[in-house]
Structure 1
Amino acid sequence: MYRFLLTRQWVVLTLVAILLIPVMIKLGFWQYHRHEARVARNELVAGNLGAAPVPVRELSGPGRDIPRADTWRRVSGTGTYDAAHEVVVRQRTDEDGQQGYFVVTPLRLADGSGTVLVNRGWIPAGNDLTTFPDVPKAPAGELTVTGYLRADETTSASGIRDRQGLPDRQVMLINSEQQAADGLTGDVLGGYIQLTATAPKPGGKQPQPVAEPDHSSIGVHLAYAIQWWIFAAAVPFGWWVLVRRERRDRAERAAAPAPEETDAPEQTDAADTADAADTTAAAAAQHAAAD
């Protein structure tokens, strides 16, 4: 009854079904691992955002990579802004998706332990992207900044391509090593501070603060994982339904009676022959009468 499974069509269909099952299971675990990573990130961010600020020098140093566990830690630093080495970071958006710049200003620490980059916030892009934009002036004098510690941005981590040949004092990434190489003197601490507060509070217009990261949403990865596993379970079920349907259709065709033979065509031929004979006889009689 199931010899049709050995046909080329059914062999190909079965092989495809067998291959789909592990692929879908693997895709489900891939989404599940992304869900776990998102949950872990949310827990890390929530814990670090809620911790008391510590001096930035405790968590960072010249050329030091910021470990993942220290990202989004609240830190503080006291010093003066070095506005001469201020840069803007291109192609950054605000909460509404509007294009603009991040304003990054080096802060020279008062204790002489080095310089740390500070992302002071976001400003909208003007009409001319080839010149340095109109940036709100950094507060003068000694001050204390508080914010979140962030790791240096890289192309591999952010997906942002680091373009060359940009206008003066414009960059694509916030990266302490690049800033040090571009002329920022002294020891430059790794990573940067994403500013949240300044004491004393600066007067006048300042860049728009960067929003805190969302650490409440877990995304849709878990739902996608469950969907892939449901698909994997549905493949053998769907294959079996198709097999049963094919077997039933073949059985019905085999049990159907063959068409019955009929003598109607032969009878019709005999009748046609008799009519032709009668017509010939009538024509002969008419011809004899005419003679």
Structure 2
Amino acid sequence: MYRFLLTPRWLALHVVVLLVIPAFIFLGRWQFGRYEERSTASDRTTTNLAAAPVPLEELATVGGAVPEGDKFRTVTVRGSYDAAHEWVVRRRTQNQRVGFYVVTPLVTSAGAVLVNRGWVPAGTDADGTPSVPKPPTGEVTVTGRLRPAETEETSGIPNRAGLPTGQILLVDDAVLGAGLPYRLYGGFVELSGQQPAAAIAPEPVPDPDPGSGGGLNLAYGVQWWMFIGIAIGGWLLLIRREARDLRAASESAQKTMQSVSH
């Protein structure tokens, strides 16, 4: 009765099922991996944002790099802004508007750190330099979120040359520090507070959203593994239906033959 399973049509179906099962297992494991990564990143972001502020030099070094585990830790640093070496970062969206981040070096006794002072809207000409409030003069104490340097790999933003003077696409201390008369701390600081406060300042960058922790990835992982049961169940159902139809056809043929013989 089950010799039909060795026919070419059914052999092709067996191959398809045997291929999709490991594929679904792989896709489920990949989604579970993404869930763990995003949950870890979400928990770390929440923890770092809630941590008490510490001096910049406790987490960053001149010429070093900011570890991913310290991303969004709140730091404090005292120094003076160097407005002569200020940049605006293109294509940054805030409140559904496209504009620029304003990045200014803050010079300290040990070196300098890049400070993202906030966001300004783009003008009528996307290639033109926007109107940027000047940083305060004299010494200030900056409080902000520590960020690793931006690269093409970490940000997904392709860099390119030939931009208007003073405009950049990525906040990368290793690149920007090459043209400065002092050494830079690794990464940059996203300003959240400043003393004394500036009378006019760029719009502050909002706190990052820790995200849902990869809940969708968990759901997708469970879904892929449910597809394994569906594939196997559907395969067995087709086999049973084919066997039932063949049995019914055989019984009908036997009855026909018996009827003819009588």
TM-score, reference length from structure 1: 0.84
- Corresponding position of 2:104: 105
Query: Secondary structure of the residue that 2:180 maps to in structure 1?
Result: coil
The percentage of counterpart residues that share the same residue type is: 46
Decide which of 137, 148, 153 is 2:134's aligned counterpart: 137
List gaps (5 residues or longer) in structure 2: none
Given that residues 100 and 121 in structure 2 are in contact (C-alpha distance below 8 angstroms), is that contact kept between their aligned partners in structure 1?
Answer: yes
The answer to whether residue 222 in structure 2 is matched with residue 222 in structure 1 is no
Given that residues 114 and 187 in structure 1 are in contact (C-alpha distance below 8 angstroms), is that contact kept between their aligned partners in structure 2?
Answer: yes
Given that residues 61 and 189 in structure 1 are in contact (C-alpha distance below 8 angstroms), is that contact kept between their aligned partners in structure 2?
Answer: yes
Q: For the residues of structure 2 that align with 1:208 and 1:202, how far apart are their CA atoms?
A: 12
Superposed CA RMSD: 1.6
Instruction: Count the aligned residue pairs.
Output: 256
Q: For the residues of structure 1 that align with 2:165 and 2:4, how far apart are their CA atoms?
A: 73
The structure with the largest alpha-carbon Rg is 1
- The letter of the residue matching 1:225 is G
- Corresponding position of 2:77: 77
Q: For the residues of structure 1 that align with 2:88 and 2:22, how far apart are their CA atoms?
A: 48
* Match runs of 1:52-201 below 5 Å: 52-94=52-94, 96-109=95-108, 112-181=109-178, 183-201=179-197
List gaps (5 residues or longer) in structure 1: 262-291
- The letter of the residue matching 2:80 is T
Query: Secondary structure of the residue that 1:178 maps to in structure 2?
Result: helix
Query: Secondary structure of the residue that 2:106 maps to in structure 1?
Result: strand
Given that residues 88 and 103 in structure 2 are in contact (C-alpha distance below 8 angstroms), is that contact kept between their aligned partners in structure 1?
Answer: yes
- The letter of the residue matching 2:213 is I
Q: For the residues of structure 1 that align with 2:9 and 2:160, how far apart are their CA atoms?
A: 53
Q: For the residues of structure 2 that align with 1:246 and 1:166, how far apart are their CA atoms?
A: 68
Given that residues 146 and 196 in structure 1 are in contact (C-alpha distance below 8 angstroms), is that contact kept between their aligned partners in structure 2?
Answer: yes
Query: 1:71 Cα shift?
Result: 1.1
The answer to whether residue 243 in structure 2 is matched with residue 244 in structure 1 is no
| Deviation by residue 1:124-166 (Cα, 9 ceiling, x = unmatched) | 1112122221111112221000001100001011111011111
- The letter of the residue matching 1:98 is R
Query: Secondary structure of the residue that 2:29 maps to in structure 1?
Result: helix
| Deviation by residue 1:38-78 (Cα, 9 ceiling, x = unmatched) | 11112211221111111112211222111111111110111
Q: For the residues of structure 1 that align with 2:17 and 2:196, how far apart are their CA atoms?
A: 67
Q: For the residues of structure 1 that align with 2:71 and 2:17, how far apart are their CA atoms?
A: 45
- The letter of the residue matching 2:129 is F
Q: For the residues of structure 2 that align with 1:240 and 1:22, how far apart are their CA atoms?
A: 17
- Corresponding position of 1:233: 229
Q: For the residues of structure 1 that align with 2:124 and 2:248, how far apart are their CA atoms?
A: 75
| Deviation by residue 1:258-280 (Cα, 9 ceiling, x = unmatched) | 5999xxxxxxxxxxxxxxxxxxx
- The letter of the residue matching 1:195 is L
Query: 1:218 Cα shift?
Result: 2.1
Q: For the residues of structure 2 that align with 1:72 and 1:123, how far apart are their CA atoms?
A: 22
Task: Provide closer, same or farther for how the CA distance between residues 163 and 216 of structure 1 changes in structure 2, counting only shifts above 3 A.
Answer: closer
Q: Tell me which of the two structures has the higher relative contact order, counting C-alpha pairs closer than 8 angstroms and 6 or more residues apart.
A: 2
Q: For the residues of structure 1 that align with 2:30 and 2:207, how far apart are their CA atoms?
A: 27
Query: Secondary structure of the residue that 2:131 maps to in structure 1?
Result: coil
Given that residues 173 and 184 in structure 2 are in contact (C-alpha distance below 8 angstroms), is that contact kept between their aligned partners in structure 1?
Answer: yes
| Deviation by residue 1:152-191 (Cα, 9 ceiling, x = unmatched) | 001011111011111111111010011112x222111110
Given that residues 75 and 145 in structure 2 are in contact (C-alpha distance below 8 angstroms), is that contact kept between their aligned partners in structure 1?
Answer: yes
TM-score, reference length from structure 2: 0.93
* Match runs of 1:2-17 below 5 Å: 2-17=2-17
- Corresponding position of 1:264: none
Q: For the residues of structure 2 that align with 1:127 and 1:47, how far apart are their CA atoms?
A: 40
Given that residues 131 and 168 in structure 1 are in contact (C-alpha distance below 8 angstroms), is that contact kept between their aligned partners in structure 2?
Answer: no
